Amino acid sequence: MQPMGSAPLLDISHLAIGFGGQNAVHDLSLTIAPGQTAGLVGESGSGKSLTSLAVLGLLPSGASASGSIRFAGQPLLGQPEPVLRRLRGREIAMIFQEPMTALNPVMTIGDQIAEAILAHPDTLPHLAAHRSTVRERVVQALQQVALPEPERRLRHYPHQFSGGQRQRILIAMALVHRPRLLIADEPTTALDVTVQAQILELLAQLRHTHNLAMLFISHDLAVVARACNQPGDTVTVLQQGRVVEQAPARQLFLAPGHAYTQRLLASVPTLRTDRLQPLATLRQA
């Protein structure tokens, strides 16, 4: 599933996740090379979030995982918490669906980004001693996601921003340590269609400038089509925890091979909106 010659950054092999005797994810394998996006799509409860949490070592208690997950060759499953903590936020970052709940409502966004920067002080030698350097990095982080007037806005609280701006702030925070892998779990689902398109555009830009590998999760195939639009991008379709289709993105959208994928495509609720466009473009290509 990866272009020849580029070793996978993330390599998930035969992953199974269960609760007691019940498996919620069965035999999932996928790889993501640097700079590539892998889309993971499926209806509610199909196991998308559990898969991403397994990568981060954040599975809920009671869940057990088998198979293997390797990041840059290093096995992740079963690693002790301090090892995973060192990777989280630094090598592997994550953004979620609801930017409001992921932000602390009583802390300015500048302080929250500074906190993210200082969470891995060893990556920033002597930085902790220099408040102005931290502030500079906060401003840079906000500039990078095109938040207007960052110097002024960093003193504001989450409720003073729109939903799209809050997601930009979370993306800024996720990228402060220049992670190699970004896991985006329904990052645009809570946003209206226009803002959704802007965030997807921003992610596409950042992906390019950072050579970011991305695991992009959505129940909405139209959104996945937009996120996975570069050569080498792949899409994995999950149904009740099982992979029913896995293919290069372009191929999957041109000719969905599985009835479930066809149903997902047909049932995209926003087909009458401008999100039809990426699908139309792909069909023409």
Ligand X SMILES: Nc1ncnc2c1ncn2[C@@H]1O[C@H](COP(=O)(O)OP(=O)(O)OP(=O)(O)O)[C@@H](O)[C@H]1O
Judged by the rule CB under 6 A, the positions of this chain that interact with ligand X are 19, 24, 42, 44-50, 60, 62, 219
Residue 50 interacts with which of Mg ion, ligand X, none, CB < 5 to 8 Å by class: ligand X
Residue 141 or 183: the one with the smaller Cβ distance to ligand X is 183
Residue 42's alpha-carbon distances to 34, 200, 209, 237, 261, in angstroms, are 24, 19, 29, 6, 9
33 vs 203, which CB is nearer to Mg ion? 203
**Closest to 202 (Cα-Cα) out of 147, 250, 161, 244:** 147
- The listed partner (ligand X, Mg ion, none) that binds 19, CB under 5 to 8 Å by sort, is ligand X
Please pick, from the candidates 49, 188, 246, 261, the single residue that binds Mg ion as defined by CB under 5 A: 49
Nearest residue to 143 via CA among 95, 185, 119, 176: 176
> Nearest to residue 19, comparing CAs of 61, 58, 74?
61
CA 139 and chain centroid, separation: 23
Smallest distance, Å, CB 8 to ligand X?
Answer: 22
Q: Least CB distance from residue 170 to ligand X, whole Å?
A: 17
- Count other C-beta atoms under 10 Å from residue 120's C-beta: 16
- Kindly tell me which of 47 and 89 has the beta carbon lying closer to Mg ion: 47
Strand partners, 81: none
Residue 219 binding: pick among Mg ion, ligand X, none (C-beta 5-8 Å cut-off by kind):
ligand X
Of the listed pieces 48-56, 149-157, 255-263, 271-279, which binds Mg ion according to CB under 5 A?
48-56
Binding residues for Mg ion, rule: CB under 5 A, are 49
